[in-house]
Amino acid sequence: MAPFAPSKILIIGGTGTIGRYITASILRAKPPFPQVTLFTSANTATTKTAQLDKWKSEGLSVIVGDITSASDVAAAYKGVDTVISAVGRGGLHVQLELLRLAEESDSVKWFLPSEFGTDIEHNDKSANEKPHQLKLKVRKYIRENIKKLNVTYVVTGPYFDMWVETNAKEAGGFNPETKEAYLIDDGEGKIGFCTMWDVGKFVVATLRHPEESFGKALKVQSFVVTPNQVLAEYEKQTGVKWKVEKFPLDRTEAVEAKWWEEGNPKATGVTLRRIWAEGGTLYEKNDNEVLGLGPEDLDSLKVAVKRRLVTDWRSETF
Ligand SMILES: NC(=O)c1ccc[n+]([C@@H]2O[C@H](COP(=O)([O-])OP(=O)(O)OC[C@H]3O[C@@H](n4cnc5c(N)ncnc54)[C@H](OP(=O)(O)O)[C@@H]3O)[C@@H](O)[C@H]2O)c1
């Protein structure tokens, strides 16, 4: 029997923040995947028409449905061999049912749940981190209930494009308008990043390497750098010295605790930034090579900073 190669792909959540990069990258992959379908909500189908029309002209099929409807999802799974979920945090719990239906389906062989972020099983503290709870629940459900389906988690660490923004000075970030940088501790803590376009590239590379990817949490990274190196690159590209403010990690933790207590939705972001600053993205070796991608295939810090100075992930066109 020929080895499995994904040919009929269904993307759920493919119009979202990271889903757009994944959908665009899969659609434009060379050689192309024979069938790429997006499952999207009625709301998105009526609000993001220009984007959907563009993708349709590039070969995307679109199914409009409700991800909480078993009959809609089962119908969308018909004939599909690979499902990629990029649903947002608000939809992570819905994936238990998406997985149950995929396990029941006659055709689905491979499922990539919505991860595309922090390593949720990095160390002893990971099990108790608030933002990880729903993703951990999905992994537990898979361990206990999924027997037939192959599953792969694509663990990308922070998106550089978003990480450079500040959601609290005490949690780090960069402001190209005012030329200000906010660093945690001495700015020497290394962080492994993916650019958002490289997330798309890594997902395509995963699809090209089924056997190596089945049953794994793949740790992938565009580059590993310190915040001081990011600052130096910004200064080089803008041609001026930036104003720098430094905050000890316990100031980050104080904002984190306060925001969780107040129910501030930005608390999730601060917790993740604290985890990244503490070394939560560092490995002896990542899985880039497993997927056949080397530094020459991926964005560099220089490219990522340059892109961030001329564009914004919110306004990128796909
Ligand atoms: N590493 C990082 O720095 C980073 C940053 C952001 C996100 N992430 C991760 O990336 C994954 C996707 O997050 P995202 O921010 O890209 O997602 P998002 O933009 O919030 O949502 C993605 C899509 O999911 C679909 N969806 C359906 N039901 C939903 C529900 N109940 N709640 C939310 N979305 C629903 C929607 O698509 P339709 O309307 O087309 O159905 C939506 O556009 C998550 O696992 C998240 O943790 C990582």
- Ligand 1 contacts CB of residue 192 (under 6 A): no
Name the catalytic one among 8, 135, 201, 219. Answer: 135
* 201 noted as active-site residue: no
| Banded pLDDT at 270 (limits 50, 70, 90) | very high
Pocket test for ligand 1, best of 11, 83, 112, 116 (most atoms within 8 A of CB): 116
- Ligand 1 contacts CB of residue 23 (under 6 A): no
Residue 1 has pLDDT above 80, yes or no: no
Residue 166 has pLDDT above 90, yes or no: no
Q: Which domains does the chain have, with CATH numbers?
A: 8-157+195-220+284-292 (3.40.50.720)
The predicted-structure confidence for 230-264, as pLDDT tens digits, reads as follows: 999 999 999 999 999 999 999 999 999 999 999 99
If you take atom 8 of ligand 1, which residue's CA is the nearest one? 117
Comparing 2 with 102, the larger pLDDT belongs to: 102
* CA 248 to centroid of ligand 1, rounded, Å: 31
CB distance 113 to 85 below 8 Å: yes
**Of all residues in the chain, what percent carry a pLDDT higher than 70?**
100
Residue 167 has pLDDT above 90, yes or no: no
Q: What pLDDT is attached to residue 62? A: 98
Q: What are the strands, taking DSSP E only, across 74-230? A: 82-85, 110-112, 150-151, 153-155, 173-175, 180-184, 191-193, 217-219, 223-225
The residues, ordered by sequence, that sit 6+ positions from 148 with a Cβ below 8 Å of its Cβ are 103
Cα separation, 92 vs 83, in Å, equals: 15
The predicted-structure confidence for 21-36, as pLDDT tens digits, reads as follows: 999 999 999 999 999 9
146 CB burial (10 A radius; 0-12, 13-18, 19+):
middle
Q: What pLDDT is attached to residue 183? A: 98
* CA 19 to centroid of ligand 1, rounded, Å: 7
Cα separation, 51 vs 47, in Å, equals: 9
Cα separation, 175 vs 119, in Å, equals: 27
Q: What pLDDT is attached to residue 272? A: 98
Q: What pLDDT is attached to residue 139? A: 98
Which candidate, 131, 138, 156, 192, places its Cα nearest to that of 25? 156
Which candidate, 103, 108, 104, places its Cα nearest to that of 39? 108
Across 65-94, average pLDDT:
98
Ligand 1 atom with the shortest distance to the CA of 14: 40
The predicted-structure confidence for 126-149, as pLDDT tens digits, reads as follows: 999 999 999 999 999 999 999 999
* CA 199 to centroid of ligand 1, rounded, Å: 14
Across 209-229, average pLDDT:
98
Q: At what angle do helices 227-238 and 301-310 cross, to 10 degrees?
A: 60
Across 95-120, average pLDDT:
98
Alpha-carbon separation of residue 61 from 10, 16, 35, 58 (angstroms): 9, 17, 8, 9
- Ligand 1 contacts CB of residue 40 (under 6 A): yes
Q: What pLDDT is attached to residue 195? A: 98
- Ligand 1 contacts CB of residue 91 (under 6 A): yes
